Chains A and B, each alone.
Chain A
Amino acid sequence: MMLDASELPTGKTLTADLCIVGAGAAGITLALQLIDSGLEVLVLESGGLKPEAATQALYSGSVREARLHSPPDRYRQRRFGGTSTIWGGRCMPFDPIDFEPREFMPHSGWPLSRAELLPFYRRANRLAEAGEFEYQAGPALGASCRPMIRNFDSPHFTSDTLERFSCPTDFGARYGHKLAAAANVTVVLHANVVRIQLAREGGQVESLDVRTLDGKSFTARARQFVIASGGLENARLLLASRDVQSAGIGNSNDLVGRFYMCHLAGTIGAITINKPLQDVYHGYEVDADGIYCRQRLALREEVQREQGIGNFIARLHHPRITDPAHRNSILSLLYLAKPIIPYEYSVRLHGGAKSDFATWLKHVRNVATAPFDAFRFATHMVRDRFLAERKFPSIIMRSRANLFSLDFHAEQQPNPLSRVTLSEQLDPLGMPRIHVDWRYTAIDVDTVKRSLALLAADLSQSGVGRFEYDPDSIEEEVTRYGAYGGHHIGTVRMGTGPRDSVVDSNGRVHGVHNLYVAGSAIFPTSSQANPTLTVIAMALRLAEHLGGELRRPQPAVLMRETA
């Protein structure tokens, strides 16, 4: 069932077995698993079915250094479907090494192994509409798979792993009908949770305070609660609920909001492959399920250990768009199309570079010199991206000279000084706004520096090509766009005990027996991988855990307290 908070009388108390805060990829995944479970599930979603400016503005906050981090109301969506309404769809699991404690990576190690997550990854892949859970190029694509660079045997990198692409699936649009039809699930839209109310002794959540933007307030009571409102908002809600635990819920050791990671990413240098054009392929393949897949250069696990650096991947990429010297009509067309490309994507396409009229004219000239190429490209984008439900994932531009730049994506170390806190400012619902102080470390930059050097050496030693870049520009490049947008990781970290973590391996807040956190906030480390697939896998795992917990007979004392 789906209803709007405006239909509820003020002061009402909603009750359920399980209350989920937030209907994004994690919250919707959880609720889907519990359809027809016999449990009453209540999902509280702040937004509506469409984007609304006033609701979205509840996300705004401040940033310590604007150059390093996007405004907090960007790259996340406060509406039914959450940020899955705008994500890019790139799926890949975390690697086994990401789960291990690594001596060279402070604060690393998950309280579960990748093997424990594997069965959930398989189902997560399906739910994300990314096909089979098969991330090796050979088995996934069979004979049709073209090697990225033929005969490139790199001792440090493998190009055998894939990234797969979701439609990208908007979890609200895709699965909302199932929640709406389910008799045991109630989704309430426009319901903003402003406070988690703990029982006086602090060991359990009693209720949630819920408000609407039009001034209504009501209460939600349940046996178990899951906060699934996103990597930044989860920390905000815990920190803002401080009437029983004065530092915020789960924050007695000052860990909530800390260890905030995104990824370090950038596009750098010039790669020349001195092989025939057909020996290099950097575009997408399509598997039998119709899923777009792409090979990538992944830093081998043994090399990470040997070098003592973080996880890292790279892709061959087209030259920088902003500089008209590429003389490519299609890249210039993209430059000119900036006003119609969504902010979240145009930032990385165009960079922060100031454009002037002369540059603009040069791009117009590039388009004019090869209008047919530009027209063909525009047709492809309209047909395969704008009109298609399974969208062509990104722009693939082939250089006839076998020239590429390198697009990379690297792990960030968990750093307690990188954090989100509450600001003095209040939002219209009276909740303190968020303040973001994202930082990167020397280890982060070193991961990129040494990986690039290894790749350059491998390319030249194997004789397939060369990679030229300015090693001194690396730090500038990784901070050009600041933290990678949309990957909000680590603010409610998972671990074995309260001294160094906020939640346990199931996502349960240490010391609060009926409060769980879902989403990338609980990841202790960030991997090279985009977080969404792991968010979904962890939510599936949590659903199984909660299903068991809620079916267990309750101790009489708890029954009385929650009654």
Chain B
Amino acid sequence: MRVLVIGADNFVGRPVLEALTRTDWATPLMLSETAGFDAAVETADSIVNCTMGRPDDITEAAQKLFSAATRLSRPPPVVHMSSMTVYGSVRGTVDENAATPAGGGAYAQAQLAADRLAALYPQAIRLRTGVEYGPGCQQWSGLIADCLAQGRLGDLGSGGDGICNLLFIDDLVTAILESLRRPQLGGRVFNLAMAAPPTWNEYFNAFGKALGAVPIRRISRRRLSAEVKYLAPPLKIAQMLKLPLPPPITPSLVSACRQEICLDSSAAEVQLGVRWTVLGVGLERAAAWWKADRRR
């Protein structure tokens, strides 16, 4: 089976590509190796869309993919990586039938637009991912580890009572491969996050200990809002300019840490056979990766 991986150069696409290479049933294809987008889509037996990054890139990739695939006489199965941000600011346990309200930030809107395009394509399996962590995951492991080591994140008090719907990177890769092997599930949606996830405070506490960044610091509400208000804007610019400055603690991170949303991913366990990596194991691997990565 020839599997086209869109977004093969990011932290999800890379391990998906590697995992596909190791199988005896798939031959991975990348966009850059081929002449054009439409041609690549036409060549593939199956497609994985794990485009990430800027909102425009996410919507654009989805538009191009689904319009090209729809035009084909036998539209190929697509595994589309979506995000839990499509559920908006809802509270409580959320399964795949929950509403996906419009609104939210540019990133959430882009994910929702892409998710809705995928919904119109009967051969697409949508995977709504939680918080990806593990080796290679800069956003939720690398930058968090930086902030923990700098004493800028830790115990956020009531600001960290939200649920951290962690998804270990290996579990995501497994889910994508298992989806590829089950084209009959086209049209289905699966939430992907570990069962019984920790709160953000618990995540920061356990990850801080795995990193050896102890004692865990209590970050006062006053300090956190000062970070977001005064430090985040210049640090964000520095990050975009790739200057060697600490990462920003963004308003979106702070609001995620408060959101008490719990993804119900039991359907993925049953239908895709995914088993969640134990948190302690995942955090140890994330910590080992971070230490090696920052030494480089």
Same complex: yes
Contacts of A290 in B (CB 8 A): 154-155, 214-218
In the assembled complex, how far is the CB of residue A352 from the closest CB belonging to chain B, in whole angstroms?
35
Interface string of A18-39 (1 = CB under 8 A from B): 0000000000000000001000
Q: Is the CB of A289 within 8 A of B220?
A: no
Q: Scan residues 211-241 of chain B and give those whose CB is less than 8 A from a CB of chain A.
A: 214-222
Q: Scan residues 139-178 of chain A and give those whose CB is less than 8 A from a CB of chain B.
A: 167, 173-175, 177-178
Q: Is the CB of B157 within 8 A of A389?
A: yes
Q: Is the CB of A389 within 8 A of B220?
A: yes
B91 in contact (CB, < 8 A): yes
B205 in contact (CB, < 8 A): yes
B158 in contact (CB, < 8 A): yes
Q: Is the CB of A178 within 8 A of B155?
A: no
Chain B: CB-nearest residue to A286: B215
Contacts of A129 in B (CB 8 A): 155, 157
Q: Decide: A388 near B220, CB < 8 A? Known: A286-B215, A289-B215.
A: yes
Inter-chain CA distance A363–B209, complex, in Å, is 45
**Neighbour of B205 across the interface among A178, A286, A289, CB < 8 A:** A289
B104 in contact (CB, < 8 A): no
A395 in contact (CB, < 8 A): no
Q: Is the CB of A175 within 8 A of B158?
A: yes
Inter-chain CA distance A387–B218, complex, in Å, is 12
**Neighbour of B218 across the interface among A36, A167, A177, CB < 8 A:** A167
Inter-chain CA distance A289–B208, complex, in Å, is 9
Inter-chain CA distance A175–B161, complex, in Å, is 9
Chain B: CB-nearest residue to A292: B215
A288 in contact (CB, < 8 A): yes
Contacts of B158 in A (CB 8 A): 173-175, 177
In the assembled complex, how far is the CB of residue B196 from the closest CB belonging to chain A, in whole angstroms?
15
**Neighbour of A174 across the interface among B157, B219, B260, CB < 8 A:** B157
A323 in contact (CB, < 8 A): no
Inter-chain CA distance A175–B160, complex, in Å, is 11
B92 in contact (CB, < 8 A): yes
Q: Is the CB of A389 within 8 A of B218?
A: yes
Inter-chain CA distance A291–B216, complex, in Å, is 9
Q: Is the CB of A288 within 8 A of B216?
A: yes
Inter-chain CA distance A291–B217, complex, in Å, is 9
A100 in contact (CB, < 8 A): no
Interface string of A265-306 (1 = CB under 8 A from B): 000000000000000000000111111000000000000000
Q: Scan residues 378-392 of chain A and give those whose CB is less than 8 A from a CB of chain B.
A: 387-390
Inter-chain CA distance A286–B218, complex, in Å, is 12
Chain A: CB-nearest residue to B202: A126
Inter-chain CA distance A246–B14, complex, in Å, is 78
Inter-chain CA distance A181–B209, complex, in Å, is 31
Q: Is the CB of A387 within 8 A of B220?
A: yes
Chain B: CB-nearest residue to A181: B91
Inter-chain CA distance A288–B209, complex, in Å, is 8
Q: Decide: A36 near B92, CB < 8 A? Known: A290-B154, A387-B220, A388-B220.
A: yes
In the assembled complex, how far is the CB of residue B101 from the closest CB belonging to chain A, in whole angstroms?
18
Q: Is the CB of B161 within 8 A of A388?
A: no
In the assembled complex, how far is the CB of residue A232 from the closest CB belonging to chain B, in whole angstroms?
29
Contacts of B91 in A (CB 8 A): 181
Chain A: CB-nearest residue to B222: A387
Inter-chain CA distance A173–B157, complex, in Å, is 10
Q: Scan residues 384-442 of chain A and give those whose CB is less than 8 A from a CB of chain B.
A: 387-390
- Considering only CB atoms and an 8 Å cut-off, how many residues of chain B contact the other chain? 19
Contacts of B157 in A (CB 8 A): 129, 167, 174, 389
In the assembled complex, how far is the CB of residue A15 from the closest CB belonging to chain B, in whole angstroms?
24
**Neighbour of B216 across the interface among A36, A173, A177, A289, CB < 8 A:** A289
Chain A: CB-nearest residue to B161: A178
Contacts of A175 in B (CB 8 A): 158
Q: Decide: A288 near B220, CB < 8 A? Known: A174-B158, A175-B158, A181-B260.
A: no
Inter-chain CA distance A174–B157, complex, in Å, is 7
Q: Is the CB of A288 within 8 A of B215?
A: yes
Inter-chain CA distance A389–B216, complex, in Å, is 13
In the assembled complex, how far is the CB of residue A134 from the closest CB belonging to chain B, in whole angstroms?
14
Q: Is the CB of B214 within 8 A of A288?
A: yes
Inter-chain CA distance A52–B237, complex, in Å, is 46
Contacts of A387 in B (CB 8 A): 220, 222
In the assembled complex, how far is the CB of residue B216 from the closest CB belonging to chain A, in whole angstroms?
5
Inter-chain CA distance A389–B92, complex, in Å, is 28
Q: Is the CB of A388 within 8 A of B218?
A: yes
**Neighbour of B221 across the interface among A36, A291, A389, CB < 8 A:** A389
Q: Scan residues 245-278 of chain A and give those whose CB is less than 8 A from a CB of chain B.
A: none
Inter-chain CA distance A59–B161, complex, in Å, is 33
Inter-chain CA distance A288–B161, complex, in Å, is 20
Interface string of B10-25 (1 = CB under 8 A from A): 0000000000000000
Q: Is the CB of B92 within 8 A of A390?
A: no
Inter-chain CA distance A167–B217, complex, in Å, is 12
Inter-chain CA distance A36–B163, complex, in Å, is 15
Chain A: CB-nearest residue to B205: A289
Q: Scan residues 147-176 of chain B and give those whose CB is less than 8 A from a CB of chain A.
A: 154-155, 157-158, 161
In the assembled complex, how far is the CB of residue B163 from the closest CB belonging to chain A, in whole angstroms?
12
Q: Scan residues 257-292 of chain B and give those whose CB is less than 8 A from a CB of chain A.
A: 260
In the assembled complex, how far is the CB of residue B224 from the closest CB belonging to chain A, in whole angstroms?
10
Contacts of B260 in A (CB 8 A): 178, 181
Q: Is the CB of A390 within 8 A of B218?
A: yes
Q: Is the CB of A287 within 8 A of B215?
A: yes
In the assembled complex, how far is the CB of residue B88 from the closest CB belonging to chain A, in whole angstroms?
15
Inter-chain CA distance A173–B161, complex, in Å, is 13
Chain B: CB-nearest residue to A167: B218
Interface string of A173-197 (1 = CB under 8 A from B): 1110110010000000000000000
Chain B: CB-nearest residue to A390: B218
Inter-chain CA distance A509–B101, complex, in Å, is 49
In the assembled complex, how far is the CB of residue A557 from the closest CB belonging to chain B, in whole angstroms?
36
Inter-chain CA distance A174–B201, complex, in Å, is 13
Chain A: CB-nearest residue to B159: A177
Inter-chain CA distance A174–B260, complex, in Å, is 15
In the assembled complex, how far is the CB of residue A445 from the closest CB belonging to chain B, in whole angstroms?
40
Chain B: CB-nearest residue to A285: B215
Inter-chain CA distance A181–B217, complex, in Å, is 27
Contacts of B214 in A (CB 8 A): 288-290
In the assembled complex, how far is the CB of residue B89 from the closest CB belonging to chain A, in whole angstroms?
11
In the assembled complex, how far is the CB of residue B10 from the closest CB belonging to chain A, in whole angstroms?
34
Chain A: CB-nearest residue to B213: A288
Contacts of B209 in A (CB 8 A): 288
In the assembled complex, how far is the CB of residue B22 from the closest CB belonging to chain A, in whole angstroms?
38
Inter-chain CA distance A178–B220, complex, in Å, is 18
B91, B92, B158: most-surrounded residue (chain A CB, <10 A): B158
Contacts of A288 in B (CB 8 A): 209, 214-216
In the assembled complex, how far is the CB of residue B293 from the closest CB belonging to chain A, in whole angstroms?
24
Interface string of B44-86 (1 = CB under 8 A from A): 0000000000000000000000000000000000000000000
Given A288-B209, A290-B155, A387-B220, 10 new contacts (CB under 8 A): A129-B155, A167-B157, A167-B218, A177-B161, A286-B215, A288-B214, A288-B216, A289-B214, A289-B216, A389-B220
B residues with a Cβ closer than 8 A to A are 91-92, 154-155, 157-158, 161, 205, 209, 214-222, 260
Q: Can you pick out 19 interface pairs between chain A and chain B where the beta carbons lie within 8 Å of each other?
A: A129-B155, A129-B157, A167-B218, A173-B158, A174-B158, A175-B158, A181-B91, A181-B260, A287-B215, A288-B215, A289-B205, A289-B215, A290-B216, A290-B218, A291-B215, A387-B220, A388-B220, A389-B157, A390-B155
Nearest 6 A/B pairs, CB to CB = A390-B218, A389-B220, A290-B215, A288-B214, A290-B216, A286-B215
